[in-house]
């Protein structure tokens, strides 16, 4: 098996991209928990629906940035090839 430097870099980029996509698990779990707690809060106090919903959506938007950064890193690792 003959592996040159470019093949090694491509392989490590693919592995790194896969690891970076694991960053999408955390926001998914966090947003699911936030939505569940938001629904429970609205069930307990329907009058505060708009305040609860806006706060929940703001928190979910902040949590989603982690997944987006992981996705951006994965795309960069897959399509930007250094040392060509």
Q: CA-to-CA distance for 11 and 13, rounded, in angstroms?
A: 5
User: What integer pLDDT is reported at residue 78 of this predicted model?
Assistant: 86
Quick: pLDDT tens for 57-79.
Answer: 898 888 888 889 989 998 888 88
- Residue 23: inside a domain, yes or no? no
- Residue 13: inside a domain, yes or no? no
- Residue 66: inside a domain, yes or no? yes
67: helix, coil or strand?
Answer: helix
Counting the structural domains of the chain, the total is 1
User: What integer pLDDT is reported at residue 82 of this predicted model?
Assistant: 67
- Residue 65: inside a domain, yes or no? yes
What band does 28 get if pLDDT is binned at 50, 70 and 90?
confident
Residue 36 belongs to domain spanning = 30-77
The answer to whether the Cα torsion of 23, 27, 32, 33 is positive or negative is: positive
Q: CA-to-CA distance for 57 and 69, rounded, in angstroms?
A: 19
- Residue 69: inside a domain, yes or no? yes
46: helix, coil or strand?
Answer: helix
Q: What are phi and psi of 45, to 5 degrees?
A: -140, 80
- Residue 14: inside a domain, yes or no? no
């Amino acid at each position: 098996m003959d592996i040159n430097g470019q093949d090694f870099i491509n392989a490590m980029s693919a592995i790194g991209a896969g690891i970076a996509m694991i960053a999408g698990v955390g926001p998914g779990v966090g947003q699911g928990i936030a939505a569940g707690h938001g629904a429970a809060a609205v069930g307990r106090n329907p009058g505060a629906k708009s305040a609860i919903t806006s706060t929940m959506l703001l928190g979910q938007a902040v949590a989603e940035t982690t997944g987006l950064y992981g996705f951006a890193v994965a795309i960069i690792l897959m399509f930007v090839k250094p040392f060509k």
